[in-house]
């Protein structure tokens, strides 16, 4: 009986292990492919194809009557974009969307951060109840929210104007006056959406090491100084995430103006997303597709700028 030398046995064992690993890796690859196939198919059918179709429409004169013969339409280049930019309604929608972002994003983030700090530091009992209460508007139907806020903002019998009347102030027609309708929607959107920011900020606050706060307190820092020099630097990545997601949300602002004011009065609350929706409703698919892509480009540019500025500060 002969026995293989030790080096040869070691090479044989290593080769066998390598073959087993290769077979196991191939099996895992096949399993991963099988599991990913349904998602890939859904992505191709319901996301990628509509995106490509919308891009195609944005460079054509397609209207509702051309749906059955989409390839019989005429290529018009950038005419749809020019048409939109020359439309005063679109310019008003772009201005309103900018106001939603400039005012709504800081207000939503500030309210969310304030609520998170209160829950993290100020409230020890019934914290879960308060957290649920702050987050409830986020998961509440926009229709139900609209009914409540319409009642609150009624010019004659609404709760807001009734309270103002007690202190001698004649309340305006909040949703019927072009000068106050936009602000009313921003306040409503802030109330409805700050709960999401609060939950994310709360997770970030709880990830800041308590030892840093204790060390700062031992050095004589008061609560405000600890917040500025310990808490805010500790949640900077969280703030960036909230900033980006909140900005994207306001750039796509649609539900609140659509349900509350339908873009009125006098287009005072129409947003870019509402303008796109209206163009689809009018059958102007080419203009609607162009506006959808323009919104996508604006969101991408704003997000890239935010990431760049934050990276430079870090």
| 284-297 per-position pLDDT tens digit | 888 888 898 888 88
DSSP 177: S
- pTM above the 0.85 mark? no
Which CATH code of 1.10.357.10, 3.90.70.10, 3.30.460.80, 1.10.3720.10 fits the domain covering 83-313?
Answer: 1.10.3720.10
SS3 50: helix
Mean pLDDT score, 186-204: 92
Cα gap 226→298, rounded to integer Å: 37
Residue 109, pLDDT score: 95
Residue of higher predicted confidence among 27 and 160: 160
What's phi and psi for 76, nearest 5 deg? Answer: -120, 5
Return the closest-CA partner of residue 187 out of 153, 139, 159: 153
| 218-252 per-position pLDDT tens digit | 888 888 888 888 888 889 889 988 999 999 999 99
Q: How many CA atoms lie within 13 A of 48 on its CB side?
A: 7
Residue 147, pLDDT score: 86
229's CB contacts (< 8 A; 6+ apart) are 216, 221
Q: Between the CA atoms of 105, 109, 111 and 116, what dihedral angle is there, to the nearest 10 degrees?
A: 160
Range(s) of the chain covered by CATH 1.10.3720.10? 83-313
Helix %, strand %, coil % for the chain, to 5?
80, 0, 20
61's CB contacts (< 8 A; 6+ apart) are 73, 74, 76, 79, 80, 286
């Amino acid at each position: 009986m002969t026995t293989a030398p030790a080096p040869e046995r070691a090479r044989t064992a290593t080769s066998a292990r390598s073959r087993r690993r290769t077979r196991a890796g191939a099996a895992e690859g096949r399993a991963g492919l099988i599991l990913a196939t349904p998602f890939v198919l859904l992505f191709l059918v319901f996301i990628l194809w509509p995106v490509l179709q919308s891009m195609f429409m944005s460079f054509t004169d397609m209207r509702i009557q051309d749906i059955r013969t989409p390839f019989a339409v005429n290529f018009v280049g950038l005419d749809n974009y020019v048409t939109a930019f020359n439309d005063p309604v679109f310019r008003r929608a772009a201005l309103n969307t900018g106001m939603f972002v400039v005012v709504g994003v800081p207000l939503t983030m500030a309210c969310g951060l304030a609520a998170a700090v209160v829950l993290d530091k100020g409230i020890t009992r019934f914290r879960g109840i308060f957290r649920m209460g702050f987050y409830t508007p986020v998961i509440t139907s926009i229709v139900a929210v609209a009914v409540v806020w319409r009642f609150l903002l009624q010019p004659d019998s609404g709760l807001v104007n009734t309270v103002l009347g007690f202190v001698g102030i004649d309340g305006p027609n909040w949703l019927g006056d072009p000068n106050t309708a936009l602000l009313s929607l921003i306040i409503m959107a802030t109330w409805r959406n700050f709960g999401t920011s609060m939950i994310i900020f709360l997770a970030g606050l709880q990830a800041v090491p308590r030892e840093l706060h204790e060390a700062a307190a031992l050095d004589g820092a008061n609560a405000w100084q600890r917040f500025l020099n310990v808490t805010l630097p500790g949640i900077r990545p969280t703030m960036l995430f909230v900033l980006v997601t909140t900005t994207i949300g306001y750039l796509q602002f649609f539900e609140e103006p659509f349900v509350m004011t339908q873009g009125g009065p006098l287009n005072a609350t129409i947003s870019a997303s509402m303008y796109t929706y209206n163009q689809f409703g009018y059958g102007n698919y080419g203009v609607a597709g162009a506006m959808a892509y323009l919104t996508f480009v604006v969101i991408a540019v704003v997000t890239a700028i935010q990431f760049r500025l934050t990276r430079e500060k870090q």
